[in-house]
Amino acid sequence: MTKATRLRRAMAEKGLVHVMATHSPLSAILAEQAGFDGLWASGFELSALYGLPDMSLISMTQHLDMLRAVAGRTSLPIVADVDTGYGNAINVIHTVREYERSGSSAIVIEDKSFPKVTSLAVDGHHNLVRVEEFQGKIEAALATRSDPDFLVIARTEALIAGLGEDEALARAHAYEQAGADMILIHSKRKDPGEIESFSKAWNGAAPLVIVPNAYPELNAADIRVLGNIRMIIYGNYAIRAAATAMKETFLRVIADGGVQQVHRDLLPVEDVFHLQGMESVRSDERRYLR
């Protein structure tokens, strides 16, 4: 059974799957240990890791390098954030081949023009491509995948761009007609009203995906009540957690003039060894080093 098949089965059996953002193998290992159903190979998180804004500055090669490293250290399915597909439908063909070969079980492709800016940017320029052009991208992705269970998730940014629910619904229906397996509906409103309204108005067969970054109070119990959302992606929490911990730790070290206090609150080095798989290496050393 492929990881893509496992992801589809998890949605069918559980009704709702929880997918945590990752930007490194270490964050992937921690997410798997915590019990998530899948991983989100996040472009935003990788951009932040490089200290760059999420504005199509990170290349496909850089993102694929991270994805391969993550895939080698986890058994979880990976949902890859491929932004706009790195170009037109021809680029999407290449993108799907490379991402499927590198270990992803799904891609999320959005209907913005290239280069894009992160969706939660208050003053961002969120320009959308023509519906017909994006349908071509979806059809190209579907025709290219080698595993029929590999998910092609179409993400509409109509609400992000301020175009309203009617436009978002029209685009979602068009993308479903093009064959999209799921529809990701995104909002930057601070409350879940737009998402709840869209979910209630959506009468398509394709299940929905949401990313509750701007409206964190919408929990799993409320989402299940809506009835047609099958995947939650926690889109930026790994990098925010890491940045929070590092910032607080570094400030304490400066304030204390050393690590004599802060070291008590940090994960023991032995636990890091465990995350690195040191026990397995030691076992191999005993067996093979002569």
- Sign of the Cα torsion 41, 42, 45, 47 reads positive
Catalytic residue among 54, 83, 149, 181: 54
Asked if 82 and 42 touch (Cβ cutoff 8 Å), the reply is: no
How far apart CA 286 and CA 290 sit, in angstroms, is 8
Is 54 a residue of the active site? yes
> Which backbone phi and psi does 209 adopt, to 5 degrees?
-125, 140
Asked if 19 and 38 touch (Cβ cutoff 8 Å), the reply is: yes
Pick from 282, 223, 226, 195: nearest CA to 19: 223
DSSP SS3 for 41: strand
Task: Enter the tokens of residue 190.
Answer: 């601070």
Amino acid making up residue 229: I
How far apart CA 199 and CA 71 sit, in angstroms, is 32
H-state helical runs in the chain: 3-14, 25-34, 43-49, 60-71, 89-101, 131-144, 165-177, 193-201, 220-226, 237-256, 269-275, 278-288
- Sign of the Cα torsion 103, 108, 114, 119 reads negative
Find the Cα–Cα–Cα–Cα dihedral 43, 77, 229, 120, rounded to 10°. Answer: -10
- Which are the catalytic amino acids? 54
